[in-house]
Amino acid sequence: MSKQIFINLPVADLKKSMAFYEAIGFKNNPQFTDETAACMVVSDTIFVMLLTHEKFLQFTSKKITDAKSNIAVINSLSMSSNDELNTFIANALKAGGREYREPVDYGFMQQRSFEDLDGHNWEAVYMDMSKMPPQG
């Protein structure tokens, strides 16, 4: 079995967060979804677990931070093309997300960023390795 990653996010409104993540292309796995948590499938190996605050607190003794004013992590996803990157961000913005910084063009890599309804930060990147500067 290949390694998998599960990103666990505390959310204020589970149904609204599920709708947001579905709007940006994540699929819900009902097998791991109930009134306290939802498993949103990004790929065969990447999953985002949306957890109500009460459910999230079952896994930690730490206080949940307000992601709209504090940051602890930036989640990044690679895209297969610039078009996919721009569509992904456009869908996030249409669903209520906020682009929190200007797009960045590194020549070989395009990067765009948004925050979800709860303020969790995401980046989408497309890398064209044929444009990668030579290492010297």
Q: Is residue 114 part of a domain?
A: yes
Please tell me the distance from the alpha carbon of residue 99 to that of residue 74, in angstroms, as a whole number. 13
Total number of domains constituting the chain:
1
Residue 136 included in any domain: no
List the structure tokens of 74.
Answer: 């930036």
Question: Comparing C-alpha atoms, which of 64, 7, 14, 58 is closest to residue 35?
Answer: 14
CATH of the domain at 105: 3.10.180.10
Query: Strand 109-115's sheet: what is its strand order?
Result: 74-78, 121-127, 109-115, 104-105
Tens-level pLDDT at each residue, the chain (136 residues): 789 999 999 999 999 999 999 999 999 999 999 999 999 999 999 999 999 999 999 999 999 999 999 998 999 999 999 999 999 999 999 999 999 999 999 999 999 999 999 999 999 999 998 888 877 7
Domain of residue 96, residue span:
5-131
